[in-house]
Amino acid sequence: MELEVCGITKQYKDKCAVNDVSLKLTPGVWGLLGANGAGKTTLMRIIAGILRPTSGCVRYDGIEIDRLKEEYRDIFGYLPQEFGFYPGFCVQDYLEYIAALKGLTRAETKKRISILLKRVSLSEVRHKKISKLSGGMRRRVGIAQALLNDPEVLVLDEPTSGLDPGERVKFRNLLSEFAHDRIVLISTHIVSDIEYIATCNAVMKEGKIIATGKTEELVRMVEGKVWSADIDGRELAVYEHQLLMVNVYNEGNGDVKVRYLSEKPVIPGSRKEEPRMEDLYLWMFPESARSDI
């Protein structure tokens, strides 16, 4: 099983959203990491076969998805970033509706809905209107619909936005369990979503894939660039403007413990730290840290 993205480019008039992207996805969880506007959603839509690329193609097991058509959509599960539901639909109606769209028989629909509702812990609310559910529950309904046809390829665009930490953990466990022998692609800008479950990651910036590899491999890129130091609280403002701060922890006695990124130690007494995925993200997207200051 292999999903191959071959030289995909998507041009929108004056903006190149995806620029000559090539990827070879094999079974496992793949994390597509990138800041907002990096081109992740466009790439996801192209992989989903719902947006035509300007050039390049997507192949599933060596065959272009445009040729596979229904056959591809049959093994494909998709949760878009923005997904809605029709007013008046309860969870059961919604899943039955999607099951029909996915071509499932009535018997299979009944069986799959029952299994999936248990799996996403929504059996109790199956007859409740979706509009009355919490954001987290709605997301779980979205995940259940993507899994209805037991897909071989699952693409989730920003699946954890709006979920609380507990729900995020549940979601990660669910995906890890599901990912065995399947290709799962998760696009996100939330590092913790993929840090512990992704078999492989691709980092996207300005429409290009700038790095790919396992979490440990990618994290090695910032090895020797992550530092921590204890500073006086009054010095913080000075360093914040100079350095790329990953974390600032107020110790309560006027001292502040900072974690920062730099080629060389800048603050006297700095200690080298073990790099994490979050450090890599900020190293590659420094603007995302600075814009919040």
Contact between 272 and another protein per CB under 8 A: no
Q: Which one among 1, 22, 26, 50 touches another protein, defined by CB under 8 A?
A: 50
Alpha-carbon torsion, ordered 215, 218, 219, 223, to 10 deg? 150
Contact between 285 and another protein per CB under 8 A: no
Contact between 74 and another protein per CB under 8 A: yes
CB of 246 to another protein, least distance (A): 25
Binding-residue pattern over the window 107 to 146 for another protein, x denoting contact by CB under 8 A:
-x------------------------------------x-
CB of 145 to another protein, least distance (A): 7
| 248 contacts 267 by C-beta, under 8 angstroms | no
Nearer to another protein, 50 or 169 (CB): 50
Contact between 2 and another protein per CB under 8 A: no
Residues 228-247 that bind another protein (CB under 8 A): none
Contact between 49 and another protein per CB under 8 A: yes
DSSP one-letter string for 55-69: EEEEEETTEEHHHHT
Burial of 227 (0-12, 13-18, 19+ CB in 10 A): buried
Residue of 139, 135, 130, 92 whose CA lies nearest to 112:
92
DSSP 82: S
Contact between 39 and another protein per CB under 8 A: yes
Contacts of 27 (CB under 8 A, 6+ apart): 1, 179, 180, 181, 182, 183
Contact between 37 and another protein per CB under 8 A: yes
CB of 142 to another protein, least distance (A): 8
Window of 7-15, 25-33, 193-201, 244-252 that interacts with another protein by CB under 8 A: 7-15
**Phi, psi at 209, each rounded to 5°:** -85, 115
Task: Report CA-CA distances (Å) from 238 to 154, 169, 195, 232, 256.
Answer: 46, 37, 31, 11, 13
Dihedral over Cα of 72, 76, 82, 85: its sign: positive
Contact between 64 and another protein per CB under 8 A: yes
Window of 32-40, 195-203, 231-239, 275-283 that interacts with another protein by CB under 8 A: 32-40
CB of 113 to another protein, least distance (A): 14
Nearer to another protein, 84 or 166 (CB): 84
Burial of 92 (0-12, 13-18, 19+ CB in 10 A): middle
Contact between 97 and another protein per CB under 8 A: yes
Size of the site for another protein (CB under 8 A): 51
Contact between 48 and another protein per CB under 8 A: yes
**Phi, psi at 283, each rounded to 5°:** -65, -40
**Helices 106-119 and 91-101: angle between axes, nearest 10 degrees:** 130
Residues that bind another protein (CB under 8 A): 12-15, 17, 36-42, 45, 48-52, 61-64, 67, 70-71, 73-74, 76, 78-88, 93, 97-98, 100-105, 108, 145, 149
